[in-house]
Amino acid sequence: MIRRDRKVRLAIFLTLLTLMLSYFGVGSVNAQALIWTVTINPSDYDDIATGVAVDATGVYIVGSVNDGASWRVMKRTLGGGPMWSVTINPSADADIPSSVAVDATGLYVAGSQWIAAGDYAWRIEKRSLVNGGLLWFKISNPSSSSDEAHDVAVGPTGVYVVGFDMVGGDARWRIERRSPATGALLVAPMAIDYSASYDIINGVAVGPAALYVVGFDRVGDDARWRIERRSLITLLPLAPPLIFDYSAGADVAYGVAVDSTIPDTGVYVVGYDSIGGDAEWRILKRTLALGPPGWPWPAAGLFIDPSPGQDRAYDVAVNPTAAGGAEAVYVVGSDQVGGDWRWRLEARTVGGALAPGWPAIVDPSAYGDAATSVAVDAVLPNTGVYIAGYGAWAKYDYAWMIQKRAL
Q: CA of 322: how far to CAs of 32, 257, 262, 338, in Å?
A: 15, 15, 11, 36
In the structure, what pLDDT confidence band is assigned to residue 12 with cuts at 50, 70 and 90?
Answer: very low
* Rounded average pLDDT over 42-55: 93
Secondary structure of residue 334 in the 3-state scheme: strand
Q: Which of 25-29, 97-101, 129-133 has the lowest mean pLDDT?
A: 25-29
Residue 19: predicted pLDDT: 31
* Rounded average pLDDT over 35-55: 94
Cα–Cα distance measured from residue 90 to residue 108, given in angstroms and rounded to the nearest whole number: 16
Residue 17: predicted pLDDT: 29
Average pLDDT over the chain, rounded to whole? Answer: 90
* Rounded average pLDDT over 44-56: 94
* Rounded average pLDDT over 40-45: 89
Residue 14 has pLDDT above 50, yes or no: no
pLDDT digits (tens, 9 = 90+) for 187-240: 999 999 999 989 999 999 999 999 999 999 998 889 999 999 999 999 999 999
Residue 309: predicted pLDDT: 92
Of 189, 238, 251, the C-alpha closest to 211 is 238
Residue 29 has pLDDT above 80, yes or no: no
Of 281, 278, 216, 275, the C-alpha closest to 248 is 275
Residue 16: predicted pLDDT: 27
CA atoms within 13 A on the CB side of 1: 36
Of 243, 359, 375, the C-alpha closest to 299 is 243
In the structure, what pLDDT confidence band is assigned to residue 28 with cuts at 50, 70 and 90?
Answer: very low
In the structure, what pLDDT confidence band is assigned to residue 333 with cuts at 50, 70 and 90?
Answer: very high
* Rounded average pLDDT over 153-173: 96
Residue 323: predicted pLDDT: 61
* Rounded average pLDDT over 292-315: 93
Q: Which of 42-51, 262-271, 324-333, 335-344 has the lowest mean pLDDT?
A: 324-333
Domains by residue range for the chain, with CATH = 20-405 (2.130.10.10)
* Rounded average pLDDT over 350-378: 93
Give the phi and the psi of residue 60 in degrees, each rounded to 5.
Answer: -115, 135
Residue 133 has pLDDT above 60, yes or no: yes
In the structure, what pLDDT confidence band is assigned to residue 7 with cuts at 50, 70 and 90?
Answer: very low
Instruction: Give this prediction's pTM.
Output: 0.92
* Rounded average pLDDT over 376-395: 89
Residue 9 has pLDDT above 50, yes or no: no
